[in-house]
């Protein structure tokens, strides 16, 4: 049986990573008095169910200053609902969040993979990529088609949710929103901008702008 030999530097690196996490958590504990945890110590009342990509460049602080107790987070490769349907359902039907938001992002590796030939991936990865359906399939996606794929997947996931939660949307207890987190500023609205691309299936940008103005 083959054993992977950890070199000293591997070990030092790992120790550094864990040490850093513990230090950051220490800082968090010291800067958050017990009162901070009071509102959600015994229960959670999140205001949104969020389905987002597991990508390391996408995090809650970009869309919520204090996400604790606020966001019911579901993360996976390609921000898809089908492989995490129970979790999404829990947020909507048990925690009754009035908002379900699907957040895709620029330069998503899962979208690139799903557009190409991923037959050599493991069954577990294939299973997740299978729920990303794209019109343009290519192993060498152009930047434009990659971005189109990201947006198309967000729209597909919103449509999936609109069918699944049709009753809640009809009763207006749930709004389903699709967004793209743009850490490259390819959409020209600022680096780090969360760009709304879909509200309850409406992808008309003028209509979206009007809806967002009404929210202010
Ligand atoms: Zn991604």
Q: What pLDDT sits at residue 89?
A: 98
Question: Residue 108 Cα, ligand 1 centroid: separation in angstroms?
Answer: 4
Q: Find the 60 Cα to ligand 1 centroid distance in Å.
A: 14
Topology of 39-215 in CATH? Answer: Beta-carbonic Anhydrase; Chain A (3.40.1050)
Using DSSP's 3-state secondary structure scheme, residue 103 falls into strand
Q: Which residues of the chain have pLDDT under 70?
A: 1-7, 215-216
Distance, CA of 190 to CA of 62 (rounded, Å) = 12
State the CB neighbour count (10 A cutoff) for residue 28.
11
pTM of structure: 0.91
Ligand 1 centre distance from Cα of residue 51 (Å): 11
41 CA distance to ligand 1 middle (Å): 31
| pLDDT tens-digit map of 132-189 | 999 989 999 999 999 999 999 999 999 999 999 999 999 999 999 999 999 999 999 9
Q: How far, in Å, from the CA of 112 to the mean position of ligand 1?
A: 9
């Amino acid at each position: 049986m083959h054993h992977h030999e950890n070199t000293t530097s591997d070990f030092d690196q790992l120790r550094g990573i864990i040490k850093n996490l513990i230090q950051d958590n220490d800082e968090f504990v010291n800067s958050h008095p017990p009162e901070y945890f009071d509102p959600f110590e015994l229960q959670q009342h999140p205001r949104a169910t969020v389905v987002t990509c597991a990508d390391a460049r996408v995090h809650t602080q970009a869309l919520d200053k204090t996400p604790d107790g606020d966001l019911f987070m579901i993360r996976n490769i390609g921000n898809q609902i089908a492989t995490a349907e129970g979790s999404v359902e829990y947020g909507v039907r048990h925690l009754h969040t009035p908002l379900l938001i699907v957040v895709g992002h620029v330069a998503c590796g899962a979208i690139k993979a799903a557009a190409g030939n991923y037959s050599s991936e493991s069954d577990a990865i294939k299973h997740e990529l299978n729920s990303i359906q794209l019109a343009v399939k290519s192993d060498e996606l152009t930047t434009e088609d990659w971005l189109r794929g990201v947006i198309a997947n967000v729209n597909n996931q919103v449509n999936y949710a609109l069918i699944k939660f049709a009753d809640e949307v009809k009763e207006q207890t749930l709004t389903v929103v699709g967004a793209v987190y743009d850490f490259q500023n390819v959409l020209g609205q600022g680096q780090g901008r969360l760009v709304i691309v879909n509200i309850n299936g409406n992808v008309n940008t003028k209509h979206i702008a009007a809806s967002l103005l009404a929210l202010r």
